[in-house]
Structure formats: structure tokens, C-alpha cells
């Protein structure tokens, strides 16, 4: 992790903060730092700021604050603009289905070690475990932005 291979160009020192899980220049470390800075922020339907987030608004805010400019979309919109991965890395997206409605209905940012950060309707921005009974039951997939 963090190694760079440059072919036919000038070699550079590895940057331990660069994301190897995205085709953008967003730093995974910065994304996680930004996301964690919102811990405790309340839940607000449609919210996109520290005064209140819904799950997709939290994704929008965190990625934009970390330097990856993304549009404000619904959870389904982000699901449709990302691809499924089998080996999740820190900073990947995690999607859930059949939470408050049928189909894709919730999302968060994977932190590693079966942990993810998200804006929950009953918790606000918090860290949760994918192995909990609730999240395990509703887990759909890990994805990465195109």
C-alpha cells in the first residue's frame, strides 16, 4: 500500500496518503479525516452540512471537502455511478438495501476492519460495524466511484 510504479518516467517517492482505490486524486487519508471530523453531527433528511446530514449528503460533503468534486445525488444515484469491488479498501463506498425502503437505501464510507462511517437516521454521523446483526442483514455491496 502506498507504493507507486512509474514506467517510462521519473520515479517519485511513495505518498502514503494517496488513494489507490480511485481514479481521482482524492487522498484516502484526507477523506477519512474529513469524514471523522463530522462524527456526532446530527441526521437531517436532505442535509449536506455539519448542521445535519442524510447518508448521501454525508458522502457528498465528505468527498467534496476532501477534494473530489462530486455532484449531489441520492444513494441510488451514487450506486449507479460506482462499480462493485470484491476486496474493499479504506475509502470505498458501502451500500445497504431494504433499510427504510426497498432496494438500495443507505450508504457509508468503508474504514477497514469491518467498520464504516455513515449518517444514520437514529445516530447521526457515527462509526458502525458491518458484522452487527442489522448491517449484516442489509449489506448489499462495496463499490468504488468510476
| 55 is annotated as an active-site residue | yes
Q: Which of the following is catalytic: 30, 106, 143, 144?
A: 106
What 8-state DSSP symbol labels residue 103?
A: S
Q: 62-75 as b/e, with b when 16 or more CB fall inside 10 Å?
A: bbbbbebebeeebb
Residues in CB range of 116: below 8 A, 6 or more apart: 94, 108, 109, 110, 127, 128, 130, 135
Q: Which of the following is catalytic: 22, 99, 118, 143?
A: 118
Q: Which of the following is catalytic: 34, 35, 55, 90?
A: 55
Catalytic residue IDs: 55, 106, 118
Amino acid at each position: 500500500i502506498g507504493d507507486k510504479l512509474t514506467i517510462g518516467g521519473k520515479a517519485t517517492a511513495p505518498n502514503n496518503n494517496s488513494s489507490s482505490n480511485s481514479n481521482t486524486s482524492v487522498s484516502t487519508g484526507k477523506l477519512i479525516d474529513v469524514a471523522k471530523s463530522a462524527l456526532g453531527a446530527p441526521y437531517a433528511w436532505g442535509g449536506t452540512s455539519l448542521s445535519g446530514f442524510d447518508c448521501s449528503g454525508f458522502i457528498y460533503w465528505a468527498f467534496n471537502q476532501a477534494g473530489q468534486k462530486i455532484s449531489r445525488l441520492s444513494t441510488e444515484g451514487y450506486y449507479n455511478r460506482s462499480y462493485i469491488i470484491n476486496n474493499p479498501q479504506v475509502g470505498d463506498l458501502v451500500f445497504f438495501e431494504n433499510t427504510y425502503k426497498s432496494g438500495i437505501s443507505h450508504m457509508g464510507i468503508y474504514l477497514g476492519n469491518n467498520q464504516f462511517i455513515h449518517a444514520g437516521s437514529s445516530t447521526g454521523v457515527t462509526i458502525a460495524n458491518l458484522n452487527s446483526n442489522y448491517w449484516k442483514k442489509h449489506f448489499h455491496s462495496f463499490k468504488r466511484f468510476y
